[in-house]
Amino acid sequence: MTPSATHRAIEAVWRIESARLIAGLTRTVRDVAVAEDLAQDALLAALEQWPHSGIPERPGAWLMTTARRRGIDALRRRRTLERKHELIGRELEALQQLDRPELLPMAEEVEDDLLRLIFMTCHPVLSREARVALTLRLLGGLTTPEIARAFLVSEGTLAQRIVRAKRTLGEARVPFEVPASDELAERVSAVLEVIYLVFNEGYAATAGEDWIRPALCAEALRLARILGALMPREAEVLGLLALMELQAARLPARVGPLGEPVLLADQDRSRWDRLLLRRGLAALEQARALGGTLGPYGLQAAIAACHAEAGSVEETDWPRIVALYDGLAALTGSPVVELNRAVAVTMAFGPEAGLEIVDSLTEEPALNGYHLLGSVRGDILARLGRRAEARREFERAADMCANDRERALLLERAICCAPA
């Protein structure tokens, strides 16, 4: 294997193994910052040794053993420097006991560690931005430059955010554990929010030159699949997984050959990923089989399933989508959900009915500056033949839009509304 091929293989191994590695080390050292440092040391060792020795048969076990040995060396140095004999001795003894191949974690222990790490990186003591950055860094396996590019912040800003997040977890003594049952629902909600926020930024980027960022969608999907496997009895976990699988299936058709956005009505549905559609529908059925009513993610997945099962926009069961949005609006009270409901009402019952809903949202504070309000209103006005008004709405929406590709699309739609 050539050196470049070996490096590509190491990158692939790291993507797969890094989350498990950091999770297992966190269980041992009880400090996520130290665990990540040890994991990075092991990665550097692999980059140095594997091009010469070849990739081991069990690369994950090799990385874990190497990281633990580096940890032992670090503890020995700290013992010499700080003379904290009793504390260091106990830690060293624990690590030495684990530094044996036959005592590497069993599969179920690894999965438990991953679950604990997910809850740790999404702890409410951190801000939403810190949760996203730390989750992508430790569980997504993305580098700091990759995350910074995705969220359009400088590498320095993002690096500081991650450092502060790890310091906050340490100072708050956040335990490496799955929350107790009385806290679980709230904490699961925070975890799901972070994962879906990452996915949405990939599915429809808020700013920048690209409308979609497939790598972010892929990482969010990977996290959702891990969580779904670890919590197969949580309906909302399965609901989010179903929603993301179904939405990800559309990604190949969401952009044209030059990267331009392609709206749902214009998409070539033969390009939708059939495997992802099947996975999404299966996850939704699993959620339904658990009994009870669907939560917000499950309802959104049911809406996505209506699109997935239709051969075209015209064949879509729009009245059912309206009913699902009714339930979602009642659960969330979200103005954005109400705006989406207006689109479904337009398709099911006509543009006049949809415009009535949109007009009721124009003074909603939460939608102030939200470019999609103008985009939806412009679309409905165009359907009603009120072209001059539609043009103004599209232009206003373009002024608010921070994504270059989407702004160009809105301006193009505004031009199409110009008088003949």
Question: What tens digit of pLDDT does each residue of 166-217 get?
Answer: 999 999 998 888 888 777 777 888 899 889 988 998 899 888 888 898 888 9
DSSP states of 72-106? HHHHHHHHHHH--HHHHHHHHHHHHHH-SGGGSPP
Most confidently modeled range among 65-69, 146-150, 273-277: 273-277
Q: How high does pLDDT run on average in the chain?
A: 87
Mean pLDDT on 244-252 = 97
Last residue of a domain, one of 45, 78, 105: 105
pLDDT tier, 247 (very low <50, low <70, confident <90, very high otherwise): very high
Cβ 120 vs Cβ 25: under 8 Å: no
Q: What is the pLDDT of residue 106?
A: 40
Which of these, 65, 54, 51, 73, lies nearest to 17 by C-alpha position?
65
Single residue among 105, 134, 151 that ends a domain in this structure: 105
pLDDT value at residue 184: 78
User: What is the C-alpha separation between 135 and 119, in angstroms, rounded?
Assistant: 10
Indicate the range of 147-151, 272-276, 381-385 predicted with least confidence.
Answer: 147-151
Indicate the range of 37-41, 113-117, 237-241 predicted with least confidence: 113-117
Is 310 inside a domain boundary? no
- What is the C-alpha to C-alpha distance for residues 419 and 111, in angstroms, rounded to an integer? 61
pLDDT of residue 188: 87
Residue 7 included in any domain: yes
Tens digit of each residue's pLDDT (9 = 90 or more) over 304-331:
999 999 999 999 999 999 999 999 999 9
Report yes or no: 180 and 170 within 8 Å, Cβ to Cβ.
Answer: no
Question: Which secondary-structure segment (H or E) carries 49?
Answer: helix 32-53
With a CB cutoff of 8 Å and minimum separation 6, the contacts of 114 are 19, 20, 23, 139, 226, 230
Domain assignment present for residue 40? The answer is yes
The CA-atom distances, in angstroms, between 206 and each of 77, 210, 246, 338, 407 are 47, 9, 21, 20, 11
Report the relative pairing of strands 402-403 and 207-208 from DSSP bridges. Answer: parallel
C-alpha separations of 27 from 21, 45, 141, 298, 377 in Å: 10, 22, 18, 32, 52
Burial class (CB in 10 A: 0-12, 13-18, 19+), 215: middle
Q: Stretch 55-69: mean pLDDT, rounded?
A: 89
Q: Tell me which residue range forms the domain holding 401.
A: 344-420
The whole-number average pLDDT for the span 51-78 is 84
3-state secondary structure labels for all residues of 136-175: HHHCCCCCHHHHHHHCCCCHHHHHHHHHHHHHHHHHCCCC
User: What average pLDDT does this structure show over 380-401?
Assistant: 96
pTM of whole model > 0.85? no
* CB hemisphere CA count around 69 (13 angstroms): 10
Evaluate whether residue 200 is within a structural domain.
no
Cα dihedral: 251, 255, 261, 263 (round 10) = -60
| Structural domain contains residue 71 | yes
The string of DSSP letters for 312-350 reads STTTS-HHHHHHHHHHHHHHH--HHHHHHHHHHHHHHH-
Please tell me the predicted confidence (pLDDT) of residue 324: 98
Residue 386 lies in a domain: yes
Q: What is the pLDDT of residues 138-165, one digit of tens each?
A: 887 778 888 887 777 888 999 999 999 9
Amino acid 287 reads A
Q: What is the dihedral of CA 120, 215, 155, 403, to 10 degrees?
A: -120
Question: How confident is the model over 76-114, as pLDDT tens digits?
Answer: 766 665 554 455 555 555 555 444 444 344 444 445 788
Q: What is the pLDDT of residue 87?
A: 52
Neighbours of 136 (CB within 10 A): 26
81, 105, 129: which is the final residue of a domain? 105
Give the CATH number, domain containing residue 417.
1.25.40
Token pair listed for 80: 């010499």
Top-confidence residue, 354 or 5: 354
H-helix or E-strand spanning residue 403: strand 402-403
Look at residue 215 and tell me if it is in a domain: no
> Cα torsion at 38, 40, 45, 48 (round to 10°)?
-170
* The pLDDT of residue 250 is above 80: yes
Q: Per residue in 212-231, pLDDT tens?
A: 988 889 988 988 998 898 88
pLDDT of residue 71: 81
Distance CA 46, CA 41 (A): 9
Does residue 313 belong to any structural domain of this protein? no
> Measuring CA to CA, which residue among 183, 181, 182 is closest to residue 123?
183
Neighbours of 59 (CB within 10 A): 18
Q: What is the pLDDT of residue 355?
A: 98
Rg over alpha carbons for the chain, rounded to the nearest Å, is 25
Least confident of 129-143, 238-252, 367-381: 129-143
Instruction: Please give the pLDDT value at position 79.
Output: 60
Report pLDDT for 100: 46
> How many separate domains does the chain show?
2
DSSP state of 254: S
103 residue type, one letter: L
Closest CA to 217 of 236, 237, 197, 231: 197
